[in-house]
Amino acid sequence: MEKKNLRYSINASAISRYANRNFDLCLRHLPISSGQQFFLLRIYENPGIPLNGLAQMGFFDKGTVSRGVQKLEEAGYITVITDENDRRCRKLFVTPAAAPIIETLLNAREEWNCALTEGMTDEECLLINKLMKQMVQNAQTYIAKKEEEVTCSKEH
């Protein structure tokens, strides 16, 4: 099999775009979009997560996370608390006002996962999850190596 003819990136991108459309449809009556749903759910699932932890978890740059968090904070769905021991560290928590949105998001995520795995066996679902995790790890390793090469070439 020739790997060059496989369309991993196109398929991953299509799934991501459809996921965003799904969340936008589910959230159309709420003041939040698919852009903030990832952040709100991760903060809910990881109370006290710092901004950089949120960035790492979602493979986002810090600017994107800061803008998303700012929108959620302005809407009253999260609070940002500065760490007493490290003033640079800002910890994130959901507020009670976020509860109905979180419930909607959890239901939407469950429905989306069911739609994606329609017609698959439990074993196939576990396998695709394992393979996708491996692809993410491979992508991280590849990009880290490329970034190191670029940094080294700039130094010389």
pLDDT tens, position by position, 128-139: 999 999 999 999
| Amino acid in the structure at residue 146 | K
For 96-113, write each residue's pLDDT tens digit.
999 999 999 999 999 999
Gap between the Cα atoms of 39 and 67, Å rounded = 11
Q: What pLDDT is attached to residue 31?
A: 87
| Amino acid in the structure at residue 29 | H
> Using 50, 70 and 90 to split pLDDT, how confident is the model at 124?
very high
Q: Sheet harboring 78-82: ordered strands across?
A: 49-50, 90-94, 78-82
Question: Cβ contacts of residue 64 below 8 Å, gap of 6+?
Answer: 55
Q: Are 128 and 120 in contact (CB under 8 A)?
A: yes
Most confident region among 20-24, 63-67, 115-119 by mean pLDDT = 115-119
pTM for the whole thing?
0.82
> Using 50, 70 and 90 to split pLDDT, how confident is the model at 19?
very high
Q: What pLDDT is attached to residue 2?
A: 67
Task: Give whole-number Cα distances, 122 to 97, 129, 144, in Å.
Answer: 36, 11, 33
Query: Is 74 in a helix, a strand, or coil?
Result: helix
